[in-house]
């Protein structure tokens, strides 16, 4: 999508800012923004994006580097634009994480979960849970029994600790001591973030 150039001046008072495409992000459009010595990232997405931005804002208010939204002149976290919602995000300096940074990534993720323990935000969604009766599990004879056994095993292990999730904790989202790229306010088992991180790190993670 084309950048809504009047949005920066109209909503954030950043007339004449230098805006350049970022070419990053999944299911979103992003741009680097520079206004004098200040650096930002503008991000536009549809769907659940405002919820994720609210989580980033909650973390920033607790002193965590989350790529937090800069509020508009009238106090909003996002504004509606053609194609979705637009946020102006704080630029987080540092190198993206890699598979070699797994200890730091684990420490950061644990801190995020701790800070979000008692947080609720608008636009939260619940994570879809596994349904052993789902039609698509009939694609292979072994699939439904395997999934059903896994669900029973989880139930027998006791209740899982729930909370707000990042939901897509790829290594490159861990920048410096922070965690950026919040796209949805999803509540579910915290182990989902842990398992997703290990998946991204690979089988040796």
Mean pLDDT of 15-22: 91
Statement to judge: residues 104 and 179 lie in one domain: yes
pLDDT above 90 coverage of the chain, percent: 82
Statement to judge: residues 110 and 136 lie in one domain: yes
- Per the prediction, the chain carries an average pLDDT of 93
d(CA 126, CA 128): 6
Statement to judge: residues 83 and 103 lie in one domain: no
Statement to judge: residues 45 and 124 lie in one domain: no
For the chain, give the secondary structure using H, E and C: CCCCHHHHHHHHCCCCCEEEECCCCCCCEEEEEEECCEEEEEEEECCCHHHHHHHHHHHHCCCCCCCCECCCCCCCCCEEECCEEEEEEECCCCCECCHHHHHHHHHHHHHHHHHCCCCCCCCCEECCCCCCCCHHHHCCCCHHHHHHHHHHHHHHHCCCCEEEECCCCCHHHEECCEECCCCCCEEEEHHHHHHHHHHHHCCCC
pLDDT tens track for 75-112: 999 999 987 899 999 999 999 999 899 999 999 999 99
Q: For residue 9, is pLDDT > 70?
A: yes
Encoded tokens for 177: 């001591």
Domain containing 86 — which CATH number? 3.30.200.20
pTM for this structure? 0.89
Structural domain harbouring 187: 99-201
Total domain count for the chain?
A: 2
Q: For residue 205, is pLDDT > 50?
A: no
Statement to judge: residues 9 and 65 lie in one domain: yes
Determine the pLDDT at residue 86. 95
């Amino acid at each position: 999508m084309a950048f809504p150039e009047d949005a920066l001046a109209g909503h954030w008072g950043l007339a004449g800012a230098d805006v350049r495409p970022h070419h990053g992000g999944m299911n979103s459009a992003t741009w680097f923004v520079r206004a004098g010595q200040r650096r930002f990232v503008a991000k536009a997405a549809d769907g659940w994006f405002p919820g994720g931005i609210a989580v980033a804002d909650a973390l920033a208010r607790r002193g965590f580097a989350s790529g937090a939204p800069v509020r508009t002149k009238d106090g909003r976290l996002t504004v509606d634009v053609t194609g979705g919602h637009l946020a102006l995000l704080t630029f987080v300096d540092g190198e993206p994480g890699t598979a070699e940074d797994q200890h730091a990534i684990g420490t950061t993720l644990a801190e995020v979960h701790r800070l979000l323990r008692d947080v609720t935000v608008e636009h939260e969604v619940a994570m879809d849970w596994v349904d052993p009766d789902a039609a698509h599990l009939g694609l292979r004879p072994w699939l439904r029994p395997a999934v059903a056994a896994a669900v029973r095993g989880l139930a027998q292990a006791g209740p899982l600790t729930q909370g707000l999730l990042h939901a897509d904790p790829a290594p490159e989202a861990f920048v410096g001591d922070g965690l950026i790229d919040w796209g949805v306010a999803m509540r579910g088992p915290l182990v989902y973030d842990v398992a997703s991180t290990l998946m991204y790190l690979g089988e040796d993670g």
